[in-house]
Amino acid sequence: MTYQILIVDDDRDIREALAALLQAEGYRCANATNGREALDYLLAQPAPALILLDLTMPVMDGFDFRSVQVDVDRLREIPVVVMSSIGRAKSAARDLGAADYLEKPIDVALLFQKVRSICARPPED
C-alpha cells in the first residue's frame, strides 16, 4: 500500500525537499501553501494518511487550519505532525491535539521515524 502525505508549508523549498525525501521512500505527496489551500484539497480529494503541517503561514496558519480540521467529521481523524521553528512545536502539537511534532530545521531520520510510525498504522476508512 502506498500512503499519501499532505505537506502544508508556505516555504516552497521545504515542501519540495520533504516531497523529494518522502517520494524516494515510496510515499506519494501532495502540497499546499497554506491552511486554506490544504482544506480545499482535503475536501476535494481522498484523505491522506498524514498531514505535515507548518504552523506559521500566510492566509491561514496551522493553528487556524487545525481548529477547522477537527470540526469537520471526515477530516478530524487524519493524523497531523506539526512542523515549526518557533521553538514551541512540542507544546503547540499538544495543544492542537496533533499526533506528533518536528522542530525545524527538520532532522531527516526523525522525520522518517515519525512518518513510518504513523503510516504503519492501518489507514482510516
Q: Is 97 exposed, middle or buried (0-12, 13-18, 19+ CB in 10 A)?
A: exposed
Residue 94 has pLDDT above 90, yes or no: no
Cα separation of 109 and 115, whole Å? 10
pLDDT score at 2? 76
Stretch (H or E) spanning 29:
strand 28-32
Query: Could you tell me the pLDDT band of residue 119, with boundaries at 50, 70 and 90?
Result: confident
Cα end-to-end span (Å), the chain? 14
Q: What is the pLDDT of residues 45-81, one digit of tens each?
A: 999 999 999 999 999 999 999 999 999 999 999 999 9
Domains, the chain, ordered by start: 4-119 (3.40.50.2300)
- DSSP, residue by residue, 102-120: EESSP-HHHHHHHHHHHHT
pTM over 0.85: yes
